[in-house]
């Protein structure tokens, strides 16, 4: 039964964690949090099961098809392949870590805070598993609401501005995508099944319009330059857990949507639009790295490096080569691990000093040596140092992209150096030299709970960096099938 309905269990099992929020009184806050954390491990166990039992056949596995609105041919249709499986497993890991990381930092309206992450996990899982566009859109919109309230209620001083900006940007793209979905419903014989839509032979001009609607919605979510301006504000104002989920999972919905729907459903339009996407990706890589270098706030610096890193992911998918697409798919996972870890670490130091200004720190390596070591390891992953997960993904992206666009690849490669400069210069100012503030001399190093949050991510950084085949073998046939679709188009 578990394997037959594994995806449904993955999507809705997080709701079990609502029970302690309902049953325990406020006076038993610690017990309530412990029960929520324990129940949040159920989706993690199911995520591990998904990874182990996923065979990588190239098609959709663990499919579930149940009539929903039968008169309108709308189905509850689920399935995963090599693009969606890694992101679902990552989602199942990050949510329990977010709950654990919030143990001492959130007390105001704790029930609401935890409930929003539970609903957010349901929405994220649903997005990656849906194979019916109506169902996909329901989950796509559903995850917007919890993140809006997380930023707007538990965020920083400018939280209202950041949350409204986040929703407005995303809603503009979503409405265009909804219009395109409605057109496809009638053009596709009143079916929104992904596999049915693959057989549609739409005129090229129609593909241009529909691709533009889908691609804009997903480009805003990534976010690609110049649609990135909502992201730094959302990251800076969001609570630590919100920033981790935003960087680790929500941004990947954009890259996932591009490759799953925009590229695959409208391949001829995609080929013509790819040069534009490559230009925007390269601009985002260089721009994001340069702007990160001058940020006075650690969290905002990491946010701008995300713009650069996601530019690499889009560049890899746009290469339409096996190496480039495989690298982009792996880097989507890697970015969630490394950038999620960075936001966890920034949150840990903020909880101690209540400031993220680089100028307020200095010499922390002598005061918090374990924190410094872990921060440096995650930084090495972020800047793609060999033996870390980031190196494998970026190397494959550059290798595959060079085959299709050598000039863009050369410019993008400079972004690797600029991004490293931004991160390492920040590390130098925060951790090395003399302790410049008396307030920093009494800071405590990481406690066991914080170490527990970081250990799984540090392990993944090295496991993927040293044995990337564990992921690449499971996604290989999916990538091959995707690339062959475009190769067949060239041969027509």
Does residue 181 fall inside a structural domain? yes
Rg (CA), the chain: 22
Do residues 335 and 272 touch, judged by C-beta distance below 8 A?
A: no
Does residue 396 fall inside a structural domain? yes
Do residues 396 and 351 touch, judged by C-beta distance below 8 A?
A: no
Tokens linked to 252: 């990947």
Does residue 427 fall inside a structural domain? yes
Average pLDDT over residues 27-44: 91
pLDDT at 491: 67
Structure confidence at residue 108 as a pLDDT band (50, 70, 90) = confident
Average pLDDT over residues 164-179: 90
220-249 pLDDT, tens digit each: 988 898 888 888 888 888 898 999 999 999
- Euclidean distance between CA atoms 167 and 40, whole angstroms: 27
Q: Give pTM, 2 decimals.
A: 0.93
- Euclidean distance between CA atoms 345 and 454, whole angstroms: 8
* Nearest of 178, 182, 195, 175 to residue 265 by alpha carbon: 195
Query: Rounded to 5 degrees, what are φ and ψ at 78?
Result: -125, 155
- Euclidean distance between CA atoms 186 and 191, whole angstroms: 8
Does residue 1 fall inside a structural domain? no
> Hey, CA dihedral for 287, 343, 317, 264, is it positive or negative?
negative
248-270 pLDDT, tens digit each: 999 999 999 999 999 999 999 99
* Structural domain boundaries enclosing 193: 6-491
pLDDT at 226: 87
- Euclidean distance between CA atoms 34 and 20, whole angstroms: 9
Residue with tokens 């390269």: 282
pLDDT at 284: 93
Beta bridge partners of residue 130, listed in sequence order:
78
pLDDT at 283: 93
Do residues 462 and 380 touch, judged by C-beta distance below 8 A?
A: no
pLDDT at 492: 64
Do residues 270 and 242 touch, judged by C-beta distance below 8 A?
A: no
Does residue 113 fall inside a structural domain? yes
Beta bridge partners of residue 66, listed in sequence order:
76
Task: Report the chain's terminal Cα–Cα distance, integer Å.
Answer: 44
pLDDT at 27: 80
Tokens linked to 318: 């746009």
pLDDT at 191: 81
* Structural domains counted in the chain: 1
- Euclidean distance between CA atoms 324 and 399, whole angstroms: 7
Residues 6+ apart with CB under 8 A from 326: 396, 400, 472, 475, 476, 479
pLDDT at 320: 92
Cβ of 29: how many Cβ atoms within 10 Å?
A: 13
Lowest mean pLDDT among 137-146, 188-197, 450-459: 188-197
Q: 1 pLDDT exceeds 70?
A: no
Average pLDDT over residues 295-302: 92
Q: 408 pLDDT exceeds 70?
A: yes
- Euclidean distance between CA atoms 290 and 53, whole angstroms: 43
Tokens linked to 46: 């199911």
Does residue 395 fall inside a structural domain? yes
Cβ of 27: how many Cβ atoms within 10 Å?
A: 8
pLDDT > 90: percent of the chain: 66
Lowest mean pLDDT among 61-70, 185-194, 475-484: 185-194
Average pLDDT over residues 465-472: 94
- Euclidean distance between CA atoms 415 and 382, whole angstroms: 12
* Nearest of 127, 438, 121 to residue 260 by alpha carbon: 127
384: left (phi over 0), alpha (psi -120 to 50) or beta: left
Residues 6+ apart with CB under 8 A from 314: 222, 224, 255, 258, 277, 278, 280, 281, 284, 328
3-state secondary structure the chain: CCCCCHHHHHHHHHHHHHHHHHHCCHHHHHHHHHHHHHHHHHHHHHHHHHHHHCCCCCCCEEEEEEEEEHHHCEEEEEEECCCCHHHHHHHHHHHHHHHHHCCCCCCCCHHHHHHHHHHHHHHHHHHHHECEHHHHHHHHHHCHHHHHHHHHHHCCCCHHHHHHHHHHHHHHHHHHHHHHHHHHHHHCCCCCEHHHHHCCCCCHHHHHHHHHHHHHHHHHHCCCCCCCCHHHHHHHHCCHHHHHHHHHHHHHHHHHHHHHHHHHHCHHHHHHHHHHHHHHHHHHHHHHHHHHHCCCEHHHHHHHHHHHHHHHHHHHHHHCCHHHHHHHHHHHHHHHHHHHHHHHHHHHHHHHHCCCEHHHCCCHHHHCHHHHHHHHHHHHHHCCCCCCHHHHHHHHHHHHHHHHCHHHHHHHHHHHHHHHHHHHHHHHHHHCCCCCCHHHHCCCCCCHHHHHHHHHHHHHHHHHHHCCHHHHHHHHHHHHHHHHHHHHHHHC
């Amino acid at each position: 039964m578990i394997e037959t309905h594994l995806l449904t269990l993955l999507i809705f099992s997080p709701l079990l964690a609502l029970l302690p929020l309902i049953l325990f009184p406020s006076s038993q806050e610690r017990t309530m949090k412990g029960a929520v954390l324990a129940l949040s491990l159920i989706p993690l166990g199911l995520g591990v099961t998904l990874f182990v039992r996923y065979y990588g056949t190239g098609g959709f596995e663990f499919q579930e098809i149940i009539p929903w609105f039968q008169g309108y041919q709308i189905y509850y249709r689920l399935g995963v392949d090599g693009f969606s499986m890694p992101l679902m497993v990552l989602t199942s890991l990050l949510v329990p870590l977010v709950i654990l990381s919030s143990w001492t930092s959130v007390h105001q309206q704790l029930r609401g805070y935890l409930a929003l992450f539970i609903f957010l996990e349901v929405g994220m899982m649903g997005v990656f598993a849906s194979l019916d566009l109506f169902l996909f859109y329901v989950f796509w919109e559903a995850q917007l609401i919890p993140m809006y309230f997380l930023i707007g209620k538990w965020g920083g001083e400018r939280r209202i501005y950041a949350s409204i900006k986040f929703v407005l940007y995303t809603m503009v793209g979503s409405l265009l995508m909804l219009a395109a979905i409605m057109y496809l419903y009638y053009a596709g014989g009143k079916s929104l099944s992904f596999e049915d839509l693959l057989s549609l032979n739409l005129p090229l001009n129609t593909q241009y319009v529909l691709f533009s609607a889908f691609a804009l919605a997903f480009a805003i979510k990534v976010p690609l330059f110049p649609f990135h301006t909502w992201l730094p504000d959302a990251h800076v104002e969001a609570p630590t857990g919100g920033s981790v989920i935003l960087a680790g999972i929500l941004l990947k919905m954009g890259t996932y949507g591009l490759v799953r729907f925009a590229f695959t459903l409208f391949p001829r339009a995609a080929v013509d639009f790819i040069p534009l996407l490559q230009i925007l990706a390269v601009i985002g890589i260089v721009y994001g790295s340069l702007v990160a270098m001058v940020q006075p706030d650690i969290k905002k610096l990491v946010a701008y490096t995300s713009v650069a890193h996601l530019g690499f992911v889009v560049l890899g998918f746009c290469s339409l080569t096996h190496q480039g697409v495989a690298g982009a798919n792996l880097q989507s996972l890697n970015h969630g691990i490394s950038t999620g870890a960075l936001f966890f670490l920034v949150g840990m130091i903020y909880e101690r000093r209540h400031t993220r200004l680089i100028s307020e720190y200095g010499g922390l390596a002598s005061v918090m040596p374990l924190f410094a070591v872990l921060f440096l390891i995650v930084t090495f992953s972020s800047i793609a140092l060999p033996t870390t997960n980031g190196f494998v993904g970026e190397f494959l992206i550059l290798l595959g992209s060079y085959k299709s666009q050598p000039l863009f690849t050369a410019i993008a490669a400079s972004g690797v150096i600029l991004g490293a400069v931004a991160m390492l210069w920040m590390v130098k100012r925060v951790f090395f030299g003399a302790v410049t503030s008396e307030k920093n001399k009494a800071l405590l190093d990481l406690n066991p709970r914080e170490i527990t949050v970081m250990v799984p991510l540090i392990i993944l950084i090295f496991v993927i960096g040293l044995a990337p085949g564990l992921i690449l073998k499971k996604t290989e046939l999916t990538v091959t099938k995707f690339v062959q679709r475009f190769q067949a188009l060239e041969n027509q």
